[in-house]
Chains A and B, each alone.
Chain A
Amino acid sequence: MRPSDRCRHLYDVMTKATTMDAMSLPNAETVIARAKRGDPAALEQIYRAYHAPVFNLARRICRTAEDAEDVLQETFFEVCRSIRNYRGDGSIWGWIRTVASSKALMRLRRNKYRDTDELNDELSPARAASPALRMDLESALDRLTDTARAVVWLHDVEGYTHEEIGTQMGKTASFSKSQLARAHQRLRLWLDEGVTA
Chain B
Amino acid sequence: MSDRHLGMDSLLAVRDGDRSEPAYLEAHRHVEQCEACRAEVARLHQVAARLKALPTLEPTTDQFPAVRARLHWERRHRVQWRLGAVGIAAAALLAVGLVGNDLARPQPLDAEQQLDSLMTRSQLLEQTLRAYDAENRVLDGWTVEVVIDLEDRIAQVDARLQDAVMLERQARLAHEASLWQERVGLMNALVNVHLTKATNVDL
Contact = CB atoms under 8 A, between A and B. Distances in A.
Interface residues of B, number: 47
A52 B56 CA distance: 8
Contacts, number: 131
Interface in A99-130: none
Nearest to A152: B51
Contact of B59 (A8, A72, A137): A72
B89 interface: no
A153 B51 CA distance: 8
B40 A73 contact: no
Given A14-B52, A47-B67, A181-B7, A37 B12 contact: no
Contact of B64 (A8, A47, A157): A47
Contact of A181 (B9, B48, B56): B9
Contacts of B53: 14
Interface majority SS (helix, strand, loop, mixed), chain A = helix
B139 interface: no
B67 A76 contact: yes
A150 interface: no
Interface of B: 5-9, 11-12, 18, 20, 36-54, 56-61, 63-64, 66-68, 70-71, 74, 152, 155-156, 159-160
Interface of A: 3-4, 7-8, 10-11, 14-15, 18, 37-40, 43-44, 47-48, 51-53, 55-56, 59-60, 65, 68-69, 72-73, 76-77, 80-81, 84, 137-138, 141, 152-153, 156-157, 162, 173, 177-178, 180-182, 184-185, 187-188, 191, 193, 195-197
